[in-house]
Structure 1
Amino acid sequence: MPSKDELADYLESYAADLPVRTGVHIRRVTRSGADYLVESDSGTWRAQNVIVATGFDRVPRIPAFASELRPDIVQLDAGSYRGPDQVGPGGVLVVGAGNSGADIALELAVTHRTHLSGRHPGQVPWRIGQPWARPLNRLVFWAFAHVLTTTTPIGRRARADVLAHSGPLIRVKSRDLVAAGVQRVPRTAGARDGLPVLDDGRTLDVSTVVWCTGFDPDHSWIELPVLDAQGRPVHERGVTDESGLYFLGLLFQHSLASSMLNGVGADASVVARHIADRSAGREPVAAPTSGPASA
């Protein structure tokens, strides 16, 4: 498994060969005859094909009762959290016990009394960074890419669970949290007297809440009939019913590996072949899937 520096170097060299424009905000995508108009704050592009690769984690999924917490309680989400320096004195409640929640709780436990709220999602039972674990890592990734897919019953069940909750802990182990002094508590169910309330009826007097409760996509800027009632793309392996409009990198787009840096290539190949067939005037081959996927 490559290190963070190796991944950064790879992405930097990859982008160097492409006409990448950073700091550009896309406002809307619409049809213009057979083409698409992509409007941004720095101009408008006309394109025959558009690939939407904006990721799945766009809008923090924060419960409505968050507004009932006392105004002096600092509230952050996993996307806005940058480090312990953002957190003042007092206890911290991290809501959501998936990978982000476990990572943040472990970091905050060094300097703060930290509670981690939510169900345990399970965990990879070995240290993935150890050299001896590389064969196991490859085997697990193979299962992520080829077994846990939208074309298998076990994959479809896993997809529903991942979209609703979280995948297993990969980096942090339960024993790490215990050793750091993180206090595991039940699900956060609401608010009472301005404080968070747990499923067991307890209230926690904390000064900071970090919401690690997941994200929803935001495709409201795509003004085309490719979204379902929840605003999620309807597609087959990233291919939509709007000829020339594609999605890439969605959470569990086709497999559990679809949104991973070393797993997105399989879906990218499907999209690239589809575009090549369209450009050559050939009838694109339907993407192999069990049916249209949403999300």
Structure 2
Amino acid sequence: MSERFTTVVIGGGQAGLAMGYHLARLNRPFVILDEHAAAGDSWRARWDSLRLFTPARYDALPGSRFPAPQWSFPSREEFADYLGRYGEEFGLPVRHNVRVTGLRHDSHAFVIDAGGRRFEADNVVVASGWDRKPRIPAFAGQLSPAIRQLTAGSYRSPRDLAPGPVLVVGAGNSGADIALELASTRTTYLSGRHPGEIPWRVDATAARPLTLAVFFAFSHILTLGTPAGRKARPRVLSHSGSLVRVKNRDLVRAGVVRVARTEGTKDGLPLLAGGRTLEVANVIWCTGFTPDLDWIHLPVMGADGQPAQDRGVATSQPGLYFLGATFQHSLASSMVHGVGRDAEFIAGRIAAAAAPAAAAGSSTAAPDAVRPEGSTAPQ
């Protein structure tokens, strides 16, 4: 047996919840499927000391306000708890412990496999997160087995490391955060190109007008609709974004040692640009992530291995949408405060596509052709 829904949202994190909010506002029936036991669990699996790199005023989902001082930086637990309350506040229909393992189309509807369960849908929104698979260079396998290797996704605290120096590879926001934490207990090297930074404290009272202007630019100037945004997008996709909360001077003061790009290995040790090797006991790869979309069995991937989409709308599969991708429409698209606008756009497209079908159905469908949302249908 299978359950039939008008729209299935896959993923119950901030993107999926924002999607649900806007679908509910338009009175569109839907369900959210989430693999975790509770809302926010994906955040609870991140490193213990993680704090969002954006102030709380930018950490709220649509229709809500983050319950903390606007210029504070919430912890992972605070944000995870917020997601749980958000879903409850708006009565969003989230089904937990449902891990989607396959998505296909049988010429009548989308078919979603989730272990031993099956769902059918007219529309599917993939909002399962773009930071699923760590992007680790192939030469990592040539490091000495004596070197402990972790990723930004598997690191939890300094207790995870072997005694001795650590090399953090990747100097973006995650790499900077982790390097800053580790520098107090061991020699810490940070490898990679400095991605640039907002040169002031984003929470400093005197600088708040500048911070407001920067985040406005993230959402409204650096978009696919502007020349500046189209120029910036390739760099953002190929490199990490600028440092927001942690500054380079923080790293220097903490004793973090900046080194060149890690290019390979030599005698089992990390090899830097210029030929230097580092004798370290640990390497943490903060080199980004790629989406895990191998479960999508539809011809929707582009030559780059990413979904072919226009502002979240799949270009070759009507009814399929993607939400939460880096620079989906703007630099803010993958940030908490930016995903809501993309969700609103997609919800509008779903509603617009349904309107002609509803008009036709109201005049041609027999009464028993209308099936209640969530009812079962023969497999």
| Residue in 1 that maps onto 2:242 | 168
By how many angstroms is 1:146 displaced? 1.2
By how many angstroms is 1:13 displaced? 2.0
CA distance in 1 between counterparts of 2:119 and 2:300 reads: 20
CA contact (8 A) 1:28 1:221 kept: yes
CA distance in 1 between counterparts of 2:96 and 2:183 reads: 36
1:255-294 alignment, distance < 5 Å? 255-281=330-356
| Residue in 1 that maps onto 2:87 | 15
CA contact (8 A) 1:159 1:252 kept: yes
| Residue in 1 that maps onto 2:180 | 106
* SS of equivalent to 2:249: helix
1:190-205 alignment, distance < 5 Å? 190-205=264-279
Work out whether 1:58 is the aligned partner of 2:128. no
Matching residue within 189, 209, 224 for 1:150: 224
> 1:179-215 CA deviation, whole Å, 9 max, x = no partner?
1100000001110000001102111000000011111
Matching residue within 323, 329, 332 for 1:254: 329
> 1:3-61 CA deviation, whole Å, 9 max, x = no partner?
42664454222222222122322111010233111111251111111000112112111
One-letter amino acid of the counterpart of residue 269, structure 2: L
> 1:129-154 CA deviation, whole Å, 9 max, x = no partner?
33444332221111011111112222
| Residue in 2 that maps onto 1:292 | none
| Residue in 2 that maps onto 1:238 | 312
By how many angstroms is 1:158 displaced? 1.3
* SS of equivalent to 2:356: coil
**Could you tell me the TM-score, scaled by structure 1's length?**
0.91
CA contact (8 A) 1:116 1:182 kept: yes
CA contact (8 A) 1:218 1:231 kept: no
Matching residue within 142, 153, 159 for 1:85: 159
Residues 64 and 135 (structure 1), Cα distance of their counterparts in 2 relative to 1, 3 Å cut: same
1:125-140 alignment, distance < 5 Å? 125-140=199-214
CA distance in 2 between counterparts of 1:137 and 1:281 reads: 44
| Residue in 2 that maps onto 1:4 | 74
**Structure 2: gaps (5+ residues):** 1-54, 57-72, 359-379
* SS of equivalent to 2:193: coil
CA contact (8 A) 1:24 1:42 kept: no
| Residue in 2 that maps onto 1:219 | 293
CA distance in 2 between counterparts of 1:193 and 1:7 reads: 43
* SS of equivalent to 2:95: coil
- Which deviates more, 251-260 or 142-151? 142-151
CA distance in 2 between counterparts of 1:157 and 1:83 reads: 37
CA distance in 1 between counterparts of 2:312 and 2:245 reads: 29
By how many angstroms is 1:75 displaced? 0.3
RMSD (Å) for aligned C-alpha atoms: 1.6
Residues 130 and 225 (structure 1), Cα distance of their counterparts in 2 relative to 1, 3 Å cut: same
One-letter amino acid of the counterpart of residue 11, structure 1: L
1:29-40 alignment, distance < 5 Å? 29-40=103-114
* SS of equivalent to 1:196: strand
Matched-pair identity in %: 57
